[in-house]
Structure 1
Amino acid sequence: MVPVRLTGPRLAIREFQHTPGDVDALHAIFGDPEATRYLPFEPRDREDCADQIEQYLEEALREERTVYRLAVTRRADADDPADATPIGNAALTLGGRGSASLGYALRPDTWGNGYAGEITALLCDFAFGPLGLHRLAALADVANTASARVLTRAGFQQEGRVRHDVYRGGAWHDAFQYSLLADEWPARPGQGG
């Protein structure tokens, strides 16, 4: 399914492009210590972000696509979302038996605007609609209370705690595991944020 284009009330989700603007935008997220505080990796340099986008594009072109790593843009930033500068990253990683893992990351200056909720709603609509998945899972660092709120507001149920899920910054970090089933997510036009 190439290219992916999802549109919400305020956001659009599209494929990343290997352009200087998209590389800079991804670096503004993945290179920022605050933005990566709860992600499973340390901040990345610009070259690593360029390599990431190259990988994303390779994944998008696979005959049987199992990974969707997508750029999140504000709809108001350009007439065409393809021209808008990304403010975030959205991801779905398909697993077996109709399941996938969901994730997102936003530039810190965009936090607190309800964008993570809108991204989650768009990914759920995509996963349970066109992809026909049955189950979505998400992990959130136990200290990431903002992500926990986003997931529970979207209807995800906490399943448990994953001990020592990620080694980052010289220490092990636990995560809470969440899930949402297709029959718990009815199609809701215009839902987001």
Structure 2
Amino acid sequence: MTPEQVRTVRQVRLTGPRLAIREFRLTPDDTAALHAIFGDPETARYLPFEPRDEEECADQIELYLEEAEKDPRTVYRLAVTLREDGPEALPIGNAVLGLEGQRAATIGYVLRRDTWGNGYAGEITAMLCGFGFGTLGLHRLAARVDPANTASARVLARAGFQLEGRIRHDLHLRDTWHDSLLFSLLEDEWVQPAAGRG
């Protein structure tokens, strides 16, 4: 595989100890579940957009499905669910992996507010690392975090991501410029879970 080549996966289904990650579905249930995340101002305060209404969330899922059909696929916007709720479980979060060329990608995640504090962000990060480095054959993963979002910064540090620096005035939102902290992890720094080592 050359540095430019990255595998494409059409239908993503990842499982962790407590969570599963799957493609979104354009259904009223998935739309309402995404709205419970993106429509909450407290949850959206660290996202790069304003809180979204239900119609905008339906538009987002439509966009996610269109992106999934592109060849090559360059963005994976995926639904995070609880494994115990089965394959038809409603999303409690959103996970993103966006390819950036040269076998690199940016990852991100957001969870519904009532699920915070359970360690789910760390599990999502581990699954995205396994998907990126293992399945897609990537070399570098990066993540941008609002400096005030100390919980996400801790999650990334625990996963082995290194802080590269602060990007000043990286985002203009709500009439204010916001900085970002840039974290990265390289394939040879990634520590696979013991069960995933071959």
The TM tier, using the shorter chain, reads over 0.9
For the residue of structure 2 that corresponds to 1:163, the secondary structure is strand
Residue ranges of structure 2 left out of the alignment (5+ in a row): 1-8
**CA RMSD, aligned part only?**
1.0
Q: C-alpha separation between the residues in 2 aligned to 1:155 and 1:21?
A: 35
Consecutive unaligned residues of structure 1, counting only runs of 5 or more, are: none
Map residues 46-125 of structure 1 onto 2, 5 A cutoff. Answer: 46-78=54-86, 80=87, 83-125=88-130
Displacement over 3 Å in runs of 4+: none
Is 1:15 equivalent to 2:23 in the alignment? yes
1:186 shift after superposition:
3.0
**CA separation of 1:190/1:112 partners in 2, compared to 1, >3 Å: closer, same or farther?**
farther
1:3 pairs with one of 8, 11, 22: 11
The answer for the alignment partner of 1:127 in structure 2 is 132
Aligned counterpart, 2:165: 160
Cα separation, 2, equivalents of 1:121 and 1:10: 12
Q: Contact 1:11–1:73 (CA<8 Å) still a contact in 2?
A: yes
How many residue pairs match? The answer is 188
Superposition TM-score, scaled by structure 1 size: 0.95
Match of 2:37 among 29, 34, 40: 29
* CA pair 176-2 structure 1, distance change in 2 beyond 3 A: same
Letter of the aligned partner of 1:86 in structure 2? P
Work out the CA distance in 1 between the residues paired with 2:100 and 2:172.
23
TM-score, structure 2 as length reference: 0.93
Query: What residue is the counterpart of 2:6 in the other structure?
Result: none
Select between 160-169 and 119-128 the one with higher mean Cα deviation.
160-169
Q: Identify the match of residue 175 of structure 1 among 177, 180, 198.
A: 180
Partner SS state of residue 64, structure 2: helix
Cα deviation for residue 170 of structure 1 reads 2.0
